[in-house]
């Protein structure tokens, strides 16, 4: 299974710690992060994604459709593509495994992928979570399964 995610949410997911616009929004967000931790992959989409869904359903003019949010996506795509040395475009799939999550967080903490965050109302919270080493954040990153006994023998 894949999870539809718009590009700038690849940044937001790194600091998500249970706070958000509404109870339905955070409940849905928590389920998405749990699926990512379990190894489901991100599928990059344009416009509102699975994180936006509760807002799109609940608001007459959801901010998810604003041009400023589309600009965040463009900025995030560009900076993350540079960092990961791969395209971040519609239809691309990304596994947020432990090493990838750590690389994204290093870059987030150093500010090199934060252009997309300019003017965001959550910036202060995200900065403080990053300063605290992301320990309050829910995303762990998918851990590769331990090798089976047979696979371990093959390596010997």
Q: Which residues bind ligand SF4 (CB under 6 A)?
A: 8, 11-12, 15, 72, 116-117, 120, 122-123, 126
Residue 21 CA: distances (Å) to CA of 27, 40, 64: 11, 24, 12
> Cα–Cα–Cα angle for 108, 30, 14, nearest 5°?
5
CA distance 13 to 16: 5
Residue 74 or 144 with smaller CB distance to ligand SF4:
74
Task: Decide if 81 contacts 88 (C-beta within 8 A).
Answer: yes
Shortest reach from residue 72's CB to ligand SF4, in Å: 6
Shortest reach from residue 57's CB to ligand SF4, in Å: 20
Length in residues, the chain: 156
Residue 108 or 142 with smaller CB distance to ligand SF4:
108
Residue 15 or 28 with smaller CB distance to ligand SF4:
15
Shortest reach from residue 103's CB to ligand SF4, in Å: 16
């Amino acid at each position: 299974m894949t999870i539809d995610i718009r590009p700038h949410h690849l940044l937001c997911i790194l600091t998500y710690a249970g706070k958000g616009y509404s109870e339905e929004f955070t409940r849905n967000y928590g389920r998405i992060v749990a699926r990512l931790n379990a190894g489901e992959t991100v599928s990059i989409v344009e416009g509102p994604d699975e994180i936006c869904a509760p807002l799109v359903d609940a608001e007459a003019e959801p901010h998810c459709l604003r041009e400023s949010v589309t600009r965040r996506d463009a900025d995030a795509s560009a900076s993350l593509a540079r960092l990961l040395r791969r395209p971040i475009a519609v239809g691309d799939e990304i596994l947020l495994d432990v090493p990838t999550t750590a690389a994204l967080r290093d870059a987030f903490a150093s500010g090199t992928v934060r252009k997309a965050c300019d003017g965001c109302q959550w910036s202060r919270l995200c900065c403080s979570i990053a300063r605290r080493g992301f320990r309050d954040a829910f995303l762990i990153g998918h851990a590769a399964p331990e090798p089976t006994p047979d696979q371990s023998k093959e390596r010997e």
